[in-house]
Amino acid sequence: MKLTISLDAEEVKILKRRAKKNLLTIREQVEDIIRRSCISSSKGGYRPLKIDDKLVGIFSREKRGRKKKK
């Protein structure tokens, strides 16, 4: 399958640096990013919190995503 995407110069620069660090070509790096994304998205889905009080549910936020580095 062929897929065409448009990237600006800054994005290409970041991809080149990342690919060089991982000893890959830019094409292999993009394939790796997409593959990892597909794997991580298939592991689990969004599960909302089960809260008895609707008011608490409206004003509460879930902590999702990567943890911040210290």
pLDDT in tens, 2-27: 889 899 999 999 999 999 999 999 99
Record the pTM: 0.59
Rounded to whole angstroms, the Cα distance separating 62 from 1 reads: 37
Task: Give 40-69 pLDDT, tens digit per residue.
Answer: 777 766 666 677 777 777 777 777 677 778
By CB atoms closer than 10 A (0-12, 13-18, 19+), residue 58 is exposed
Rounded to whole angstroms, the Cα distance separating 28 from 21 reads: 12
